[in-house]
Amino acid sequence: MMWLYIIIGITIVGAMVWFIRHQRSLRLRAYLMEEAMRNHDFTFRLSTKGLLYGERAMQETLNHLGETIRQQINQNEVESWEKLTRVLTHEIMNATAPIASISQSMLSRDDVKGTPLEEGIHAIHATSQHLNAFVDSYRKMSQLQQTDIQRIMLTGIIRDIQQLYPNVAWNNSITDETIVYADPNMLRQILINLAKNAIEAGAQHIGIELSNHILYISNDGQPIPAEARESIFVPFFTTKRTGNGIGLSLSRRMMIQQGGSLTLTDHPLSGYHTTFSISFAEK
């Protein structure tokens, strides 16, 4: 009889110890999820291993909720920039069209031809035409086509990009069996934009790797200035003298339209100065 009491006592103590440890684990999970939300890290996920049935369902729901929140925030951001850009392009074109027209008329006047005024008016006319063409080209490019999500082999697209830029060393760890779900044309354009930006920043090496369904594209070019990191996806923002600030903003829009994301990581992968991450929509 005594042995029975001892066994029951040990079982109760063991259950209490397990319960306390389990509750601490749940509290730690709650803290980590809260910190991730506070830092706007909506890609944060926690494993369901070791959880009870109901707890597992709750964790899966929280994981999916974070993804839903991320997609909604990204979509709202894109829509806000689209509205602002639409207004700005409309106002700019309305303002520059009369300038181009009037300057063209003045250039055809006999009292302007051959005078010092002609060169200045010609510069005004050329600048207004260039600005009109730039704004109109951005307006056309920002009207993205409908996405066509397909099951694609990532290595095929990467090989295409490598052939476009043979003078840079590619460190590609993607295997032939790697499959992602994305719009192939959009993904190809995004990778071209990232490679082009890297080379323009003086990169000699570009690294590509996939981890936990996230594609990392790194380069050893000139690092992005700390003060510019928050603005690189803003339309028309650029740190280059000859840049137009379109490539990255459109690339991010294309990934968001596919249900994924394009971000600049806080910490570049080892051996590189800059790392972008592409997350794909869950299939």
pLDDT band at 41 (very low <50, low <70, confident <90, very high): low
E-assigned strands of the chain? 150-153, 169-172, 179-182, 205-211, 214-219, 261-264, 274-279
Query: How many CB atoms are located within 10 Å of the residue 15 CB?
Result: 10
Rounded-to-5 percentages of helix, strand, coil across the chain: 55, 10, 30
212: left (phi over 0), alpha (psi -120 to 50) or beta: left
* Tens-digit pLDDT profile for residues 60-105: 777 777 767 767 777 777 677 777 777 777 777 777 788 888 888 8
Q: Could you give the CA distance from residue 205 to residue 207 in angstroms, rounded to a whole number?
A: 7
pLDDT band at 275 (very low <50, low <70, confident <90, very high): very high
| Of 18-27, 72-81, 207-216, 244-253, the least confident | 72-81
Average pLDDT, stretch 196-224?
Answer: 92
Mapped onto helix, strand or coil, the DSSP state of residue 56 is helix
pTM > 0.85: no
